[in-house]
Amino acid sequence: MTTFPGSPRLLKGGIVLMDPETGSVQRIIALQYNPDTLTRSLQPQAAGGEGGDRSEALRLKGPPVETIKLEAEIDAADQMESGDQDPTIEFGIHPQIAALESMLYPTSGSLQENHDMAASGQLQIIPMESPLALFVWSKSRIVPVRITDLSVTEEAFDPNLNPLRAKVSLGMRVLSVDDLGFEHKGGSIYMTYQKEKERLASLSHCGTLSSFGITGV
């Protein structure tokens, strides 16, 4: 089936993994199908907290704590139709699932290096640093995140028990300058994200007091 030439190009959401020091892209994980819903939750960081000092009631300590949740689907059928048959026939959708799950693991090389250092009497005090994950959902939403929850429900298998279809539930916490600092690569990306949000807010049509049925406050 040929695509209608006038149809818009469908952009995909996904995650980009970057080296936190150099900013070089290490891996791009594009969602096979964009989910129908995206759940975002923002919790303000009030200076006084609930029941705090009244003089602090309107003060904010920093950006809100933002969390993002989505559910995505992975299906081997489209990959086989697109000609990406060799790995799909041999492994099903194992590679796509592994790419998502590997975001939560330190590399095997780092684990082995820490073990060798411990065995030789050296101490590894600083925990292993993972790549910087960026959640990309259009050019207006590119934000550093930490994966907080990942669950995979595999629904169909080939004769070799390779998964052929799965649903993925992904939870993320946005990392702000409070988490990363202004000098960190992720901190500068977050600031761009917040500035874009402020720019978009300025484009919103403002209401009038008359729409509330009042003339002043």
Tens of pLDDT, residue by residue over 11-59, are 999 999 999 889 999 999 999 999 999 999 999 998 876 666 677 778 8
Structure tokens at 47: 């200076």
Q: Is the dihedral of CA 139, 140, 146, 149 positive or negative?
A: negative
Q: What is the pLDDT of residue 190?
A: 97
Q: How confident is the model over 103-113, as a mean pLDDT?
A: 89
Q: What is the mean pLDDT of residues 148-175?
A: 96
Distance of alpha carbon 152 from its chain centroid, rounded?
A: 16
User: What 3-state DSSP class applies to 143?
Assistant: strand
The answer to whether 175 and 144 have CB atoms below 8 angstroms apart is yes
Burial class of residue 141, CB neighbours in 10 A (0-12, 13-18, 19+): middle
Q: Positive or negative, the Cα torsion across 98, 99, 105, 109?
A: positive
> Average pLDDT, stretch 107-128?
80
Are 145 and 68 within 8 A, CB to CB? yes
> Taking 60 as the threshold, does the pLDDT of residue 2 lie above it?
no
For the stretch 188-201, pLDDT in tens is 999 999 999 999 99
Mean pLDDT rounded to a whole number for the chain: 89
Instruction: Note whether 197 and 187 are within 8 A (CB).
Output: no
Spatial distance between the Cα atoms of 138 and 149, rounded to a whole number of angstroms: 22
Average pLDDT over every residue of 161-182: 97
pLDDT at 52: 62
The residue that leads in pLDDT, 88 or 188, is 188
Q: How far apart are CA 82 and CA 47, in angstroms?
A: 53
SS3 152: strand
